[in-house]
Amino acid sequence: MNSLEGQFLIAMPDMDDERFAESVILLVGHGDEGAMGLVVNHELENLRFADIIDELDLGDPDSVIRLPDTIRQRAVMRGGPVERGRGFVLHSSDYRSGNTYAVADGVSLTATLDVLKAMAFGPPPASALFALGCCGWSAGQLEDEIASNGWLTAPFSPKLLFETPVADRYDAALASLHITRASLSPDAGHA
C-alpha cells in the first residue's frame, strides 16, 4: 500500500472500538514500520488551552489571565489513546521551529513547548489545533483495518482541519467523499 501520510482516516459508522467511533484522524506518519495519527474531531471535556498553558507554567500567571478568550478557551483535542499526556500541535506551514515536521501541503506538526508559547503569546501560526495523545498502528495493522472495512481514507483538506467546526468534521469528511452515514454499508466489498 502507498503511504497514507497526510490523508484523513474516517471511521466507518459501525466502528466497534468506542475510542475511535465517528473519528476523523489525520495521519502524520505512515510507512513500513506502522502509522501514527491524531484525532481531529473529538474535544476533551472540561479542558481548555489556558489550562495547559497554566499547568506547564509557560507564562507568568498575570499573562495567562490576560490572554484573550479566543486563546484561553481554545479546544484541546483528544488526539488518541496512545501517549495521552503528550501534546501535539497541527498547524499551518507558516510556523517553523527546529522540530517542525511537514505532514502535507499546508500543514505541519510540532510537539515542543515553543509552539504552545507561540500559540498563546505570539507570533502564532495562522491556524493551529492542539491535541493530547495520538493514535498508533504497528506494521501492517492499519492496512488490515482498512481492508476489513474499518476506515475510509480522504485527501487532506486545510478547510476541514482548520475551518470546519469540530462537531461537523465527521460529516464533512464523509461529504468530501460524496457520501453520507446513511449511504455506507457495513459490509466490505471485494472484487
pLDDT in tens, 111-156: 989 999 999 888 999 999 999 999 999 999 999 999 999 999 999 9
Of 26, 25, 2, the C-alpha closest to 104 is: 26
Exposed/middle/buried for residue 75 (C-beta within 10 Å: 0-12, 13-18, 19+): middle
User: Which is it for strands 24-31 and 34-39: parallel, antiparallel or unpaired?
Assistant: antiparallel
Phi-psi category of 83—alpha, beta or left, where left has phi over 0 and alpha has psi -120 to 50?
A: left
Q: What is the DSSP letter of 167?
A: G
Q: Give bridge partners of residue 152 from the DSSP assignment.
A: 10
Peptide bond into 123 cis (omega under 30): yes
Mean confidence (pLDDT) of the chain: 90
- Count the Cβ atoms, other than its own, within 10 Å of residue 82: 13
What's the pLDDT tens digit per position in 155-173?
Answer: 999 999 999 999 999 999 9
- Count the Cβ atoms, other than its own, within 10 Å of residue 90: 24
Please enumerate in sequence order all residues whose Cβ is within 8 A of that of 169, keeping only pairs 6 or more positions apart, or say none.
24, 40, 41, 160
What span, in angstroms and rounded, lies between the C-alpha atoms of 151 and 170?
12
- Count the Cβ atoms, other than its own, within 10 Å of residue 23: 24
pLDDT band at 103 (very low <50, low <70, confident <90, very high): very high
Task: Report how far Cα 2 is from the mean position of its chain's Cα atoms.
Answer: 21
What span, in angstroms and rounded, lies between the C-alpha atoms of 6 and 49?
25
**Is pLDDT at 191 greater than 50 in this prediction?**
no
Q: Give bridge partners of residue 25 from the DSSP assignment.
A: 9, 39
Q: What is the pTM of this model?
A: 0.91
What span, in angstroms and rounded, lies between the C-alpha atoms of 113 and 38?
18
